[in-house]
């Protein structure tokens, strides 16, 4: 299950996560990225759900999920495809601002890296 921006991170981190790009409208059935594409950003789901398919199976991500948040630290390509199950609003955050956020907020970074490691060992 993708990490939620509505639980865990403190208010400052949440603000930094959502202040990036203007949320884009994603139509029902629209794919935000496909397995095999370059990892350059992650997406925050304001209104969900999104559905994934890929190397690690299928899952649904509700509102509050951070899609691609574990892949963003990778130099490889996407391992999952994500598609909107309904019309949605979702801002994205580019790789380098997210890494800066991790550097500036140790507790959030530690939590994120723990979830990333757990995800890696599940595979």
Q: Domain containing 104 — which CATH number? A: 2.60.120.10
Examine residue 3 and state whether it is found in any structural domain, yes or no: no
Evaluate if pTM is beyond 0.95.
no
β pairing state of 66-67 and 41-44: antiparallel
Query: How confident is the model over 107-119, as a mean pLDDT?
Result: 78
The number of domains in the chain is: 1
User: Please, what's the b/e burial string for 11-47 (b: 16 or more CB within 10 A of its CB; e: otherwise)?
Assistant: eebbebbeebeebeebeeeeebbeeeeebebbbbbeb
Nearest Cα neighbor of 51 from 43, 40, 39, 61 is: 61
Q: Is the pLDDT of residue 33 over 90?
A: yes
Q: What is the pLDDT of residues 51-103, one digit of tens each?
A: 998 887 888 988 888 888 888 888 889 988 999 999 988 888 888 888 888 88
């Amino acid at each position: 299950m993708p990490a939620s921006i509505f639980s865990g991170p403190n208010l400052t981190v949440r603000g930094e996560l959502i202040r990036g790009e203007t949320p884009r409208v994603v139509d029902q059935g629209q794919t935000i990225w496909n397995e095999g594409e370059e990892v350059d950003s992650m997406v925050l789901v304001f209104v969900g759900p999104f559905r994934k398919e890929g190397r690690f199976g299928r899952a649904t991500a509700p509102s509050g999920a951070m899609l691609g948040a574990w892949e963003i630290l990778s130099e490889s390509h996407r391992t999952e495809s994500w598609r909107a199950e309904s019309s949605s609003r979702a801002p994205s955050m580019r790789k380098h601002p997210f890494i800066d956020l991790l550097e500036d907020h140790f507790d959030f970074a530690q939590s994120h890296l723990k979830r990333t490691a757990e995800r890696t060992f599940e595979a």
